[in-house]
Amino acid sequence: MPLTIVTDSIVSLPVDALVNTTGSTTASRPAIDAALREAGGPQLQAERERLGRIEPGDAVAGGPGALDARMVIHAVGPLWHDGSWDELETLKRCYSRCLAAAAKGGCMSIALPLIGARTHGFPRDRVLAAATEAIGEFLAESDLDIYLTVDDRALFRLPRLLYGKIETYIGEQTVAHGGADADTRRRCPICGHGAPSHAEVCDACGRPLLQPSAPRSQQENPAWADTEPRPVPRHLKRRPRHACGSSDAGTLRQQDAEATFAEELSRLACEKGLSETQLYRRANIDRKLLGKILSNGAYQPSKETALALAVALHLNLEGTLDLIGLAGYTLSHGDTGDIIVEYFIEQGQWNIHLINEALFAFDQEQLGR
Cα 276–Cα 345–Cα 154 angle in degrees, nearest 5? 100
The active-site residue out of 16, 33, 145, 322 is 33
- For residue 301, pLDDT over 90 is answered with yes
Give the pLDDT of residue 310. Answer: 97
Q: Give the pLDDT band of residue 326 (cuts 50, 70, 90).
A: very high
- For residue 228, pLDDT over 60 is answered with no
Domain positions in the chain: 3-155, 160-220, 243-361
Pairwise CA distance, residues 35 & 278, whole Å? 37
Upper half-sphere CA count for residue 143 (Cβ side, 13 Å): 12
Same fold, 3-155 and 243-361: no
pTM of the model: 0.75
> What are the tens digits of pLDDT across the range 128-146?
888 889 999 999 999 999 9
Strand-pair partners of 241: 247
CA 245 to chain CA centroid, nearest Å: 31
Q: What is the mean pLDDT of the chain?
A: 80
Helix, strand, or coil (residue 241): strand
Helix, strand, or coil (residue 362): coil
Q: Find out whether 87 and 79 touch, Cβ atoms under 8 Å.
A: yes
Q: Give the pLDDT band of residue 187 (cuts 50, 70, 90).
A: very low
Phi, psi (degrees; rounded to nearest 5) at 59? -150, 135
- For residue 210, pLDDT over 70 is answered with no
Mean pLDDT across 341-366? 93
**Higher per-residue pLDDT: 184 or 266:** 266
**Alpha carbon distance, N-terminus to C-terminus of the chain:** 6
Pairwise CA distance, residues 313 & 28, whole Å? 47
> What are the tens digits of pLDDT across the range 86-121?
889 999 999 999 999 999 999 999 999 988 776 667
Distances (CA, A) of 342 to 65, 262, 359: 46, 22, 12
Cα 6–Cα 8–Cα 13 angle in degrees, nearest 5? 95
In order, the DSSP letters of 54-113 are --TT-EEEE--TTSSSSEEEEE-PPPPSSS-SSHHHHHHHHHHHHHHHHHHTT-SEEEEE
Distances (CA, A) of 189 to 201, 212, 215, 304: 11, 12, 18, 35
Looking at the chain, the whole-number percentage of residues with pLDDT higher than 90 is: 51
Provide the CATH number for the domain formed by 3-155 in this structure: 3.40.220.10
Pairwise CA distance, residues 135 & 96, whole Å? 7
- For residue 267, pLDDT over 50 is answered with yes
Give the pLDDT of residue 58. Answer: 95
Q: Give the pLDDT band of residue 53 (cuts 50, 70, 90).
A: very high
Pairwise CA distance, residues 133 & 92, whole Å? 8
Mean pLDDT across 53-65? 94
Q: So what CATH class is 243-361?
A: mainly alpha
In order, the DSSP letters of 3-21 are EEEE-S-GGGS--SEEEEE
Pairwise CA distance, residues 301 & 295, whole Å? 12
* Known catalytic residue at 33: yes
